[in-house]
Amino acid sequence: MKFLPRFFKRTVTTSLIFILVSRCNMADLNNPSDPFSDEFVKRSILAEFVKYLLREKVVPDSLALLVYKGTIPYEAGLRVYRVDPDSGLTSDFVSDVRPAVTSAFPGCQPIRISIPPTSQDIITFTGPASDRVVVHKLGVDRSLTMVQDKYGFGAPSTATFSIDGTTMYSSNTLTSPHTINRSTRDISSGYISLNNTGNYPFAVGCSPSSIRTSNLDGIIFTANSLGSPMGIYVHKKTSADIVAPVGGNPYTQPDNPSTNNNLCISETDRLLYMTSTNSSNPIYGYRYDANGNMQILPNSPFSPDPAYTAPAPADNNSTNMVLEPNGKYAAFLYSSGGTFYIRLLAIDANTGNLIPTDQKLSVGNSPKHLDWDRSGKFIYLVSDTGGSTNKYQMEYFQFSQNGTLARGVNSPITFSNMSGEFIAKDLKSIPKYFR
C-alpha cells in the first residue's frame, strides 16, 4: 500500500523527536497526556496510522458527465469516464445516451446529477417537461445499468444526501411556495422513494439553487436564487420527522446580491459559504452554531483576486466554488480581464476567512460545473475552447496536500464540438471506496 513508506518515515521522525526531548525531561512513561511519555508516542503513531488508513479508503475512479444535444436528432444522457488514480482523467468512457423523450430517461434537457456518499450510483434529474428521478449503477466491470426511472417527485432540480446516503433532500419547484422533499434511498438496490411525513416537505424561497446539510447538527441549509426575500433558509431537525425554521428565515445578506448560487459547508468547523453574482466580492461566509443560528464572518464578503472582474457563468446554477474534503481550501472560478481562472483560497482555521493563495491557473472559456473529488486529489470542470477550434472540454487539476495545484497530465479532454453536438449539463466525480 502506498501509505506505508510515508507512515514509516513519520514513525521514525516521531521516535527521534521523542528520544531528543526525553534527554531533557523526565517523562511520566504511562501517562498518555504527557508528550514525553511512551504511551503518548504510541498513541500518536497509532493516530497517524489510522489517518493513513482512512485516507486510502477513497480513491479517484470515474467522472460522470451529463449531456444533451439540442439539434436533430435530439439526444441526452450520461457518459462515465475512467479516472486513473495516479494520472487522472482518461478519454475512455461508457455511456447511456438515448433519443430525447419526455416520458422516460433521459428527458429532453436533463438538469443535474448527484452521487450519494459511499456509493457509485448516479442519480439524474431529467428536468422540465419530464421531471423524473433516474438511478444508474456503475458496476465493478464499468458497466452502466439503469435501475430506476420514476415520476412523482415534483420538479426536482438540486439535491443533497445524509452522510450515510440513505436520505435525499431535493427541491420541488412545482409547488407554491417551492419546497424541499425528503426521500429514502435503499443502499443495496439504489431505489429512491418519496418519504414526506411529519412536516416534510417544508417551504423555502423561490428557485432553490443549492441544498446542504450538517449531519453533525441536524441542519438543512437552502439558498434560493430568485424573488424576495432572497437568502439562505435554515431548518433544524427537532425530531425524526419534524424540522423547524431558524431565526428570521431566510438569512439575508446586507448588500443583497442580485443572484445567489451554490453553498459549500465545512461541518466540523461550522462554516458555510455561498457564491453570488456580486461584482466585486462574490463569496459570502458564515459561522453557524449547533442550533443553526448564523453570523456573517467579519471580513465577508470575500474576493478571490484584487483583479477580479466577473464571476464564472452560473447557468443551470452551475457550481463555481467547491471545498477540499478536509476543509482547508476552497477552489473558485472567476474572470479577470477577460481571462478565466481557477484559484485556491486557504480557509483560516480560526476565523473562517478566505485567503487567496498563489495557486492561480488559467482555464478555458465559460468554466462551470466545478467538482472536487472526495479523495481530495483531483478538481474537475467543464469549459470551451472558443476561437477557431470551438470544442467543449473537461479540464482537471491535481491537488497536493501542501496546497499546490497542477494541471492534469491529460488535461484537457475534449468531448464535443460546440456546434450541433453535445452540451454539458453537469459533471460529478465518482470515487471508489475500500472498506
> Helix %, strand %, coil % for the chain, to 5?
10, 45, 45
Could you tell me the pTM of the whole model? 0.86
Sign of CA dihedral 89, 92, 98, 99: positive
* Residue 259 pLDDT: 75
**pLDDT computed for residue 8 by the predictor:** 44
Q: In the chain, which stretches have pLDDT less than 50?
A: 1-12, 14-27, 29, 31-33, 47, 49-51, 53-54, 56
Give pLDDT, residue 253.
79
User: Phi and psi of 67, rounded to 5°?
Assistant: -130, 160
User: Could you give the 3-state DSSP secondary structure of residue 49?
Assistant: helix
**Residue-wise over 103-135: b if at least 16 C-beta within 10 A, else e?**
eebbbbbbbbbbbbebbbbbbbbbbeebbbbbb
Pairing of strands 391-399, 58-69: unpaired
DSSP state of 387: T
* DSSP calls for 349-377: TTT--EEEEEEEEE--EEEEEEEE-TTSS
Q: Dihedral sign for Cα 267, 268, 274, 275, please.
A: negative
Least Cα distance to 110 among 134, 86, 138, 139 occurs for: 134
**Where are any strands of DSSP class E within 225-364?**
232-239, 242-245, 260-266, 271-276, 283-288, 294-296, 310-311, 321-323, 329-336, 339-347, 354-362
Q: For residues 78 and 113, is the Cβ–Cβ distance under 8 A? A: yes
Dist. CA 131–CA 150, nearest whole Å: 9
pLDDT of 34: 54
**Do 27 and 36 form a contact (C-beta atoms < 8 A)?**
yes
What's the pLDDT at 317? Answer: 65
Could you tell me which residues are beta bridge partners of residue 137?
121, 145
392, amino acid identity: Y
